[in-house]
Amino acid sequence: MAMYPRLVSSAEAPAMATESGSRIRSTRSRESAVIPSPFSPRALIAAAGEHTESRAGGPKWGPLTGWRAYVVPMSATRARRWGILASLWGVSTASAAYSIVPASVLTLVMETMGVGPTGASWVISVVYLGMFTLAIPAGFVLDRVGTRRGVVVANLGLVAATVGSYLAAAADAYLLLLATRYLAGVCLVAGWTADVNAVGGAFGDDRQATAIGILATSVVAGFAVGQFAGPVVATRYGWPATLLAFGSLALVGLAAFVPLGWSVEFRAPDADVPRWAEFRTVLTDAGVWTVALLAAAAFSLNLIFNNWMPTYLTETFAVSIEEGGLFAAAFPAIGVVARGSSGVVSDRLFGTRRRPVVLGSFLVVTPVVVAVGVVDAVAVLLVLLFLAGFFSQLGLALLYTYVRELVAANVAGTALAVLNAVGFFGAFVAPILTAEIFERSGSYLAVFLVAGAVAAAGTVLAWYAPEPNA
């Protein structure tokens, strides 16, 4: 059972440390929050990062105040935990909206840039190419330099790349647009890995899947916002403005994170800085790679739908670009519910087992995605979109917790980086591959048959995947 923090006097702290030190040191994947006296100035300057830290189980003299502080087996107080989650949810929502928003105005991209469907799809896919190429190095660096700096530096880099991509799009500079979007992808993967590590470290093992599942809803929330609001912004201010509008919003969440993130320590108190041998162990772990391939299947499905649905709806069902964006937003919107409930379903209904939820999601999605390419009624299509969106996202959100539980706590960032690298490679390839298939066949059904094949492959992989909590 988790021990909630309380303030203690300097006389009480040593006795409490002796009594509970061994229990605190044995707590797996917990991180430390140092709770100072409420009368000390430390409470006022914690936001600037000046705080004392201690190994688990022992008191430490606060040099700024002369008061003793006691380390509790939690990474943050209840309010700080949820504040960290909320702030990073905002950062990730803005980032996801930026990454996907060109899909909602793909016809405008093709007109202004003078490219076809494949060329326009590169504007989306190049972000995931950047995420794929730097995912594993980002995990190495984050495991060694820390979560807090990773969150701030990566997301500031994303905002800078956002401004660059806006300027390139406004100048109709296609190659420069691809370059700046690639850099944005590099920053996105570093930021996302740091975000997941921060949230995973702020919550205990029994709530980790639920917390990360909630954070994962930010991706589909961002996709829904981008799909819905992108055409509205583009109609009024031009499509390049969509890049600047959504990417710069990450600054709001980042500003909220800084005072919270610098008041806690995200590394577990008994976790050593990983050695290169431990990195190699992660990179050769068959279970890690199996879950990573599941991520590739899930990410591919996600991008196929988000990339093609607006255009499919406007060309096949004769709806306006704004209506197409609204209908296409149904797929990621229902994913907010699915991702938010994935941890609860796994933790409460399946006793923290992950494999049954992932397997069940792929089993349902496989026939549904093929049916999307066959129906000719908008009402039926919307029902299928809700089903596909819910079950595909239900399994995907759980993979972030799944892969972390297969390895030691001090290399969880590297395991997550492997998952991100393989998953984002699938996200990079899927839109370009399906665009090429569509250009050759002229058939949307062919696109959704590819999606069905990807889902079927995910079903087979999930059947053989290891269960970390069996």
For the stretch 353-367, pLDDT in tens is 888 999 999 999 999
Domain ranges, residue 32: 12-72
Residue 102 · residue 120 · CB < 8 Å: yes
Count CB-CB contacts under 10 A for residue 330: 21
Find the mean pLDDT for residues 373-398.
85
Distance of alpha carbon 259 from alpha carbon 164, whole angstroms: 28
- pLDDT exceeds cutoff 90 at 163: yes
170 lies in the same domain as 198: yes
- The residue among 305 and 72 whose pLDDT is bigger is 305
Find the mean pLDDT for residues 57-85.
50
- Residue 105 pLDDT class (50, 70, 90 cuts): confident
47 lies in the same domain as 103: no
Give residue 246's pLDDT: 86
- pLDDT exceeds cutoff 90 at 91: yes
Distance of alpha carbon 165 from alpha carbon 182, whole angstroms: 9
| Amino acid at position 396, single letter | L
Give residue 304's pLDDT: 86
Find the mean pLDDT for residues 75-89.
81
245 lies in the same domain as 339: yes
- The residue among 19 and 262 whose pLDDT is bigger is 262
> What is the number of helices (H) and of strands (E) in the chain?
18, 3
Residue 319 lies in a domain: yes
Residue that is written with structure tokens 């930026």 in the block: 98
52 lies in the same domain as 200: no
194 lies in the same domain as 340: yes
Residue 1 lies in a domain: no
Task: Provide Rg for the chain, Cα atoms.
Answer: 23
- Residue 334 pLDDT class (50, 70, 90 cuts): confident
56 lies in the same domain as 85: no
Of the listed ranges 137-141, 287-291, 293-297, 391-395, the least confidently predicted one is: 137-141
pLDDT tens digits along 109-137: 988 888 888 888 899 889 988 988 888 78
Residue 7 lies in a domain: no
- The residue among 340 and 17 whose pLDDT is bigger is 340
Phi and psi at 3, nearest 5°, equal -100, 120
Element (H, E) at 72: strand 68-72
- CATH assignment at residue 405: 1.20.1250.20
Task: Give the end of a domain, one of 56, 72, 88.
Answer: 72
Question: What is the pLDDT of the chain when averaged over all its residues?
Answer: 77
Residue 86 lies in a domain: yes
165 lies in the same domain as 150: yes
- pLDDT exceeds cutoff 70 at 54: no
Residue 450 · residue 431 · CB < 8 Å: no
Structure tokens that stand for 309 in this block: 């649905």
Phi and psi at 59, nearest 5°, equal -80, 160
Residue 153 lies in a domain: yes
24 lies in the same domain as 166: no
156 lies in the same domain as 259: yes
Q: What is the DSSP letter of 349?
A: I
283 lies in the same domain as 377: yes
Give residue 205's pLDDT: 63
- pLDDT exceeds cutoff 50 at 164: yes
Distance of alpha carbon 326 from alpha carbon 431, whole angstroms: 20
- The residue among 9 and 110 whose pLDDT is bigger is 110
Task: Give the end of a domain, one of 41, 57, 72.
Answer: 72
306 lies in the same domain as 183: yes
Structure tokens that stand for 201 in this block: 């470290």
Number of domains in the chain: 2
Residue 3 lies in a domain: no
Residue 91 lies in a domain: yes
Task: Give the end of a domain, one of 41, 72, 103.
Answer: 72
- The residue among 457 and 381 whose pLDDT is bigger is 457
- pLDDT exceeds cutoff 70 at 294: yes
310 lies in the same domain as 438: yes
Residue 469 lies in a domain: no
- pLDDT exceeds cutoff 50 at 195: yes
